[in-house]
A and B are shown apart, each in its own frame.
Chain A
């Protein structure tokens, strides 16, 4: 029983880290542009599909680099041609625009790759399991967790320790002042949108070998991401990470204990947290609010 619990908890942490990477991109776009980007999920799916298509030609490492960059370019195009038109408008416009676009992009996946699920094999060097002393655990999942942590730390470093990150945080706080100081905010917003898309893409690539790749996988990850952002506190960096882990672990353990309500658990958790703290766990002071 304990061993199973450990395994499910570890799975939950891995799941939570994937969620956290996706939700980080989502909250970044929401915090800086105040747009709820519903294409975020489908961009995650594109990351996975592109990895599936590119891996036979480029190998694991190179496709892990190229696929998120291509997703980032998609994000750049979406922002440049469409999303930037709704900045400062009624938030519903952005929501409707990205919602419609995400459905269209999901159909494009069906047109290109078909309706049936695909699978990606984990690279050979992380195949099999590792003896952790108390249990055997998938090497790929451990590798995935390490990669997700690296990505999270890199984003933290970029936002908190570089001058460009400072401009992004300042822009989220007072866009007008940042513009009056000579910073090209439209360009900065495009870049943030692309960065958010890259994060979705990375999560899609690294999740591909443990999930079956299906056209609706983007929709499936969008709702947990949204829950995580609200649970952790909108715009809060560490709130998002903690929220991701909470949702990941609780989903995984509830699958073990009471699978029939496992889909309900994240919503219940969010409701409980919001009753207790309406701004989310760490929404008191977000890193995006400077």
Chain B
């Protein structure tokens, strides 16, 4: 479904990604791991067209999307939930959802997300539907960031550290939602270090200093303490 082939991405003169490749199949949940500064966020930004790679190729459902503007990439069916959430603080929860909304299911048997369905899956958000973003808790903001992206009915979601900075209960809630998305058949690229998130993943990529250093089964890395220590330092 998504193929990233040998991309090199720069911020100004500094090269962040080196000949990076990865792929995600339909319905797969893939976890992207690595220490801080390894280039995980830049990888997601490159896929999303927010920081276009200087060379290499990114294709989605067979279509070359390298260098396309991010709104085109989003319209093709890739959703992005940034690490810092970036909800719109003076708009209500409903309006935030409206901004993410794109009518019509992305096809491929995935059910269409509507405000009603969102509120069923995110009961917490339903309670604060008319509150402006500014007054939401950290957990609610994260829920809203995910929900807003789902309103665009993506086939693939890129989630950047969704549990970062959340209280343990909220972490559980976010993981439950990712699990639900997986069960619904959505393809997921997840940047996340939380062990629970790893257990949801089908496959794992590990990055170091802008390069891909490992690709394998999620279970393998979970079970092999030495491997985990070597790749992630945990």
Contact = CB atoms under 8 A, between A and B. Distances in A.
Interface of A: 163, 166-167, 169-170, 173-174, 176-186, 285, 287, 289-290
A95 to B, nearest CB: 25
B102 A169 contact: no
A166 B95 contact: yes
B95 A163 contact: yes
A177 B90 contact: no
Which 4 A-B pairs rank lowest in CB-CB distance, beginning with the nearest? A182-B74, A290-B90, A290-B88, A177-B86
Interface of B: 48, 50, 69-71, 74-75, 80, 82, 86, 88-91, 95, 98-100, 102, 133, 148-149, 152
Contacts of B133: 290
A182 B90 contact: no
Given A163-B95, A180-B70, A181-B74, A285 B90 contact: yes
17 contacts: A163-B95, A166-B88, A166-B99, A169-B91, A170-B88, A174-B86, A176-B50, A177-B86, A180-B82, A181-B100, A181-B148, A182-B102, A183-B99, A184-B71, A186-B69, A289-B90, A290-B91
B69 A181 contact: no
B70 A176 contact: yes
A167 B151 CA distance: 14
A218 to B, nearest CB: 33
B144 to A, nearest CB: 12
Given A163-B99, A173-B90, A177-B86, 10 more contacts: A180-B50, A180-B82, A181-B99, A182-B71, A182-B152, A183-B71, A290-B88, A290-B89, A290-B91, A290-B133
A270 B23 CA distance: 58
Secondary structure call for the A interface? helix
Contact of A169 (B70, B74, B86, B88): B88
Contacts of A183: 71, 99
Contacts of A166: 88, 91, 95, 98-99
B90 A287 contact: yes
Contacts of A180: 48, 50, 70-71, 74, 80, 82
B88 A179 contact: no
A31 to B, nearest CB: 13
Contacts of B88: 166, 169-170, 173-174, 177, 290
Contacts of A169: 88, 90-91
Contacts of A174: 86, 88
Nearest to A177: B86
Nearest to B133: A290
A177 B82 contact: yes
A223 to B, nearest CB: 30
Contacts of A290: 88-91, 133
Contacts of A173: 88-90
A178 B99 contact: yes
Contact of B91 (A170, A176, A185, A186): A170
A181 B82 CA distance: 11
A290 B74 CA distance: 22
A181 B91 contact: no
Contacts of B74: 179-182
Contacts of A186: 69
A198 B90 CA distance: 26
B65 to A, nearest CB: 13
Q: Which of B50, B91, B95, B98 has the most chain A CB atoms inside 10 A of its CB? A: B95
Contacts of A181: 71, 74, 99-100, 148-149, 152
B55 to A, nearest CB: 22
B232 to A, nearest CB: 28
A287 B198 CA distance: 41
A56 B155 CA distance: 57
Contacts of B82: 177, 180
